[in-house]
Chains A and B, each alone.
Chain A
């Protein structure tokens, strides 16, 4: 009869038990933040410096490329980014090619814009969702207002809004700040506006799963800034002096990762231990038989 060890018991543990441990590891730090230290990456520091270097009154494009499932990672940098842009006096043009993108970003940013006193149509405008991203971004290279049919998300005329003053084509933007959980995302703007020389500065705000390819783009100089995942969002919040949702969530994320890494390490040790014991048993049977 096979001898049962602690490794066998652990290998047979109900997976729902692991779910409970992960929930506990995440919920406790959310309710009682530990205050684990945050390491600031050069890419985020440089991104903040880049945004601060843009003069007041400049036009910036805010790519609201996101969906509800990305809100945990993209809402904090979106809020912090819009806050910094407004504080720096940038005029914010929010557009998006994900069906829910502009609606979500309006929901995220409106309370903060109201709190800061930003005026819709003067300090910022939301263009609303449009289908056919490539043709619209292409048209926007020559005539931005025509590309968006001269209408904002509410159906009001863009050309009558003070925030649009001086915005004729894509090259009038000082930089693009693009949330990027996939496509359309930073790659779309890179191809449409960066590759054609319309906009040189693109700040990439990817989700964690897009961070690898975003890192390639940043290191190769395709993008000028990078704020990656919840961690990047937390750094960004702290660097601009407004710690918020991402900063509060970082302890929970660290503890969640710690729990997962522990499971991985223990699981692998258990796997190799069980395999070693099985091999030893086979050897014993062989030698006993011969």
Chain B
């Protein structure tokens, strides 16, 4: 981070120790899987505290310090004092008598983001995806009818229509035999959620593998 350059020799000397501390904390957190215990609590509190401290230092070193030291003192961009003061107003929040003042930066921030979100470029991904949803049902590839791609496109478009119908007619407008559409739409949504859940599980397994790589490779040097 800006302004903090630790000599390489010191980093190299401390790395094995920091790795060992990391492994101890890892075991502490994993001990929760056996049962709740003070070692786990100590590691949890150390994590929360160090994460807060790290965020504070990183934000100061990369945003606040360059803003004051470089942009204002060196480049003479003194107007930057305005957003700094505006940001400071948020600290009125805990003072009950004056907490209305803290709404000003929030209002500014919400307004800025709303304005940004209303621009056409935010809608561009939506339009692009909508356009690419309109696929041909009869696909000709190299002068021949491409059966598999055609089926794929029909299924894809059908599922999109089903799910749209499901959400647009969420008050069960479709009655009688049309109800089966809702059922198929629910199945399609569940398949999508299932795929998302599967990816989530894969993600968690990857995290676990990362931690084992840390213990077995970085710490124990087994491979």
Contacts and interface: CB of A to CB of B under 8 A. Distances in A.
Interface string A210-232: 11100011011110000001110
A207 B34 CA distance: 28
Contacts of B132: 219-221
B211 A72 contact: yes
B2 A153 contact: yes
21 contacts: A16-B34, A27-B216, A30-B223, A31-B216, A31-B222, A72-B211, A99-B54, A99-B55, A99-B62, A128-B62, A129-B58, A191-B122, A195-B121, A195-B124, A195-B125, A212-B195, A220-B131, A220-B132, A222-B129, A229-B202, A249-B206
B77 to A, nearest CB: 9
3 smallest CB-CB distances across A and B, nearest first, come from A72-B210, A195-B121, A208-B203
Interface of A: 16, 19, 22, 26-27, 30-31, 69, 71-73, 99-100, 103, 128-131, 134, 149, 151, 153-155, 187, 190-192, 194-196, 207-212, 216-217, 219-222, 229-231, 245, 248-249, 252-253, 256-257, 260
Nearest to B63: A131
A16 B59 contact: no
B202 A129 contact: no
Interface of B: 1-3, 5, 33-34, 54-55, 58-59, 62-63, 66, 70-71, 113, 116, 120-122, 124-125, 128-129, 131-133, 192, 195-196, 199-203, 205-213, 216, 222-223
Contacts, number: 140
Given A99-B55, A128-B2, A221-B132, A209 B125 contact: no
B212 A26 contact: yes
A212 B192 contact: yes
B116 A260 contact: no
A190 B70 CA distance: 30
Contacts of B195: 212
Contact of B128 (A196, A207, A220, A257): A220
Interface centre among B5, B124, B202, B223 (most CB of A within 10 A): B202
Contacts of B128: 220-222
Contacts of B212: 26-27, 30, 252
Nearest to A209: B203
A130 B66 CA distance: 10
A155 B3 contact: yes
A129 to B, nearest CB: 5
B200 A256 contact: no
A195 B213 contact: no
B15 to A, nearest CB: 10
Given A73-B203, A134-B116, A230-B209, A151 B70 contact: yes
Contacts of B223: 30-31, 248
Contact of A26 (B33, B199, B205): B205
A123 to B, nearest CB: 19
B201 A73 contact: no
B122 A129 contact: no
B61 to A, nearest CB: 9
A131 B209 contact: no
B129 A216 contact: yes
A30 B196 CA distance: 26
Given A30-B213, A151-B2, A257 B201 contact: yes
B33 A128 contact: no
Given A131-B63, A151-B66, A212-B199, A253 B3 contact: no
